[in-house]
Structure 1
Amino acid sequence: MIAYISTLSPVMQALLATLFTWGMTALGASLVFTTKTVNQKLMDGMLGSAGGIMIAASFWSLLSPAIEMSKEGPFPVWFPAAAGFLLGGFFLWIADKIIPHMHPSSHTNQTEGINPKGKRRSTLLVFAITLHNIPEGLAVGVAFGAVAAGLDSASLTAAVALAIGIGIQNLPEGAAVAMPLRREGMSRRKSFFYGQFSGMVEPIAAIIGVLAVSFMSPILPFALAFAAGAMIFVVVEEVIPGSQEYGNGDLATVCLMIGFTIMMILDVAFG
Structure 2
Amino acid sequence: METIQRILNEFVLLGAAVAFLSTGLGAVPVMFKVRFSARLHDITMGICAGVMLGATFFSLILPAMDRFGNGSQLHGASLAVAGLLLGGALLHAFNRFIPHEHFFRGAEGQVSESLRRLWLFVFAIGIHNLPEGMAVGVGTGTGDEAISVPLMTGIGLQNIPEGMIVALALISEGFSAKTAILVTFATGLVESVGVFLGATAVGFSATMLPWGLSASAGAMLYIISSEMIPETQKNGFEHQATAGLMVGFAIMMLLDNAFVT
* Cα pair 2:15 2:140 within 8 Å, conserved: no
1:128 aligned onto 2:147: no
Counterpart residue type for residue 175 of structure 2:
M
**CA–CA separation in structure 1 for the residues paired with 2:234 and 2:176:** 27
Matches within 5 A, 1:10-49: 10-12=7-9, 13-35=11-33, 37-49=35-47
CA distance in 2, matches of 1:216, 1:184: 44
* In structure 1, C-alpha distance between the alignment counterparts of 2:38 and 2:99, rounded to whole Å: 26
How far apart are the structure 1 equivalents of 2:233 and 2:160?
18
1:146 is aligned to 2:142: yes
1:185 matched to 2:174? The reply is yes
Root mean square deviation of aligned Cα:
2.0
Shift of 1:21: 1.9
Letter matched to residue 100 of structure 1: P
Q: How many residues align?
A: 254
Once residues 245 and 101 of structure 1 are traced to their aligned partners in structure 2, the CA distance between those partners, rounded to angstroms, is 21
- What's the CA shift for 1:112? 1.4
% identical aligned pairs = 39
Q: Using the TM superposition, name which of 233-242 and 125-134 deviates more.
A: 125-134
Q: Which runs of 4+ in 1 moved over 6 A?
A: none
Aligned-pair CA distance for 1:92: 0.7
In structure 2, the CA distance between the partners of 1:132 and 1:218, relative to structure 1 (3 Å rule), is same
- Residue type of the alignment partner of 1:146: T
Note the 1:43-58 alignment, pairs <5 A: 43-58=41-56
Q: 1:263 to 1:116 in 2, by over 3 A?
A: farther
* Counterpart for residue 87 of structure 1: 86
CA deviation after TM superposition for structure 1 residue 51, in Å: 0.5
Give 1:114 shift.
Answer: 4.4
5+ long unaligned stretches in structure 2: none
Unaligned segments of structure 1, at least 5 residues: 1-7, 148-154
Q: CA deviation at 1:117?
A: 4.5
- 1:104 touches 1:176 (CA, 8 Å); kept in 2? no
1:229 Cα offset (Å): 0.3
Contact 1:129 1:173 in 2 (8 A): no
TM-superposed CA distance for 1:125, in Å, is 1.7
Q: Deviations over 1:86-131 (max 9, x none)?
A: 010011101111332212322xxx3114435553222222111111
Name the amino acid aligned to 1:165: G
Letter in 1 for 2:253: M
Q: TM-score, normalised by structure 2?
A: 0.90
For 1:163-198, what per-residue CA distance to the aligned partner results, in whole angstroms no more than 9, with x for missing partners? 010011112321222112223332211111112211
Deviation larger for 256-265 or 11-20: 11-20
1:38 CA drift (Å): 2.0
The equivalent of 1:4 in structure 2 is none
Output the TM-score relative to the length of structure 1: 0.87
CA displacement at 1:270 relative to structure 2:
1.1
Question: 2:63 & 2:32 partners in 1: Cα distance?
Answer: 41
Q: Distance in 2 between matches of 1:267 and 1:68?
A: 15
Alignment equivalent of 1:137, drawn from 124, 133, 137: 133
SS in structure 1 opposite 2:101?
A: coil
Quote the Cα distance in structure 2 between the aligned partners of 1:87 and 1:117.
33
User: 2:41 is aligned with what amino acid?
Assistant: M
Select 1:158's aligned residue among 126, 141, 147.
147
Q: Aligned residue for 2:115?
A: 119
User: Displacement, 1:134?
Assistant: 1.5
**Structure 2: how far apart are the matches of 1:141 and 1:114?**
32
Structure 2 residue aligned with 1:206: 195
CA distance in 2, matches of 1:198, 1:100: 18
